[in-house]
A and B are shown apart, each in its own frame.
Chain A
Amino acid sequence: MPSPVTLITGTRKGIGRSLAERYVGLGHAVIGCSRSEPEWTLDGYTHQIADVADEKAARKIVSSIRKAHGRLDNLINNAGIAMMNHSLLTPASAVRDVLETNVLGTFVFCREAAKLMKKNSFGRIVNFSTVAVPMRLEGEAAYVASKAAVVSLTQVLAREFAEYGITVNAVGPTPVQTDLIGAVPAEKIDALLARQAIGRLGTLDDVANAVDFFIRPESGFITGQVLYLGGVG
């Protein structure tokens, strides 16, 4: 079997970087993107500078994958931004940014990837939501709304893409120690962890394990599902 071709968005740092390293280690050809240049490189990994909300950029990335590999097996829509702010203090421009990266970015990458996956009648798409959705986490209205939209997209696209052999699922991590939550006060994180069934921070491996499960060839009968970590939801 040829090595899997895996596209991961938002690989400069955090969860995206760790997933890129993981799947390169497992022998995948990995293509990643972010808005700025990463400070790392890896054999078997190709980086492209792109904003996920730019639909033309998404089209170009998938087109370059078609030319280089002729197929795409996995898409991991990891790129995301968060905003923690009381809604009464949140400007519309910030809401727009969050929706563009998290919702629009996920949508256009799903769309472009599915076109290439469909040729092979096989594909695995994993989107990123968060436990903040079922927790209805106050102080993150725009972020939570954007990640709830990711859940809906996942569920509908699972149906639209089923006939092409493409599954679409989502992971909903708990807080994981990355820059994304760097600005959140410790008491706030502790309060959040206390609402989980298992009250600890998630690790990069916890997230990777859920992604592994969805992209396994054996997971072909699993689609439209959201896997929340830490016993939430």
Chain B
Amino acid sequence: MSDQRNEAQEIVGLNELIIECVNDVREQNDIAPGADISPDARLFGREGMFESLALVNLITSLEEAIEDKFDVAISLADERAMSQNRSPYRTIAALAEYAAELIAEQR
């Protein structure tokens, strides 16, 4: 029970962390801020926020932010990266879930 609660909290924390990184990368890449970003926002692909180089910047800055916040060194590299339906980077929520899995694995 408490494990589940911790996990849910972690996902919320990760969502926030990802949104911070998304905003940083948008600023650095001069991408106009859109409406408020929701966890279901698409990160790339059709109607996505980022093209592939900005996505690379997002993923690498997120790895670093996770390292600082959770004190675990994970690599978010994934061979499904560019798949429209299966990519762990497709939305903020999917990315948070994927990161949570890797963090749990490291612990």
Interface residues of A (CB under 8 A from B): 55-56, 59-60, 62-63, 66, 111-112, 115, 118, 163
Contacts and interface: CB of A to CB of B under 8 A. Distances in A.
Interface range, B side: 10 to 19
Contacts of A112: 75
Nearest to B57: A118
Main secondary structure of the interface of B (DSSP, over half): helix
B75 A55 contact: yes
Contacts of A118: 60
B64 A66 contact: yes
A63 B67 contact: yes
A55 B64 CA distance: 16
B73 A63 contact: yes
Nearest to B67: A63
B73 A59 contact: yes
Contacts of B73: 56, 59-60, 62-63
Nearest to A112: B75
Nearest to A163: B53
Nearest to B53: A163
A56 to B, nearest CB: 8
B77 A111 contact: yes
Given A56-B73, A66-B67, A163-B53, 6 more contacts: A55-B75, A60-B73, A62-B73, A63-B73, A111-B77, A118-B60
A66 B61 CA distance: 13
A20 B106 CA distance: 31
A213 to B, nearest CB: 29
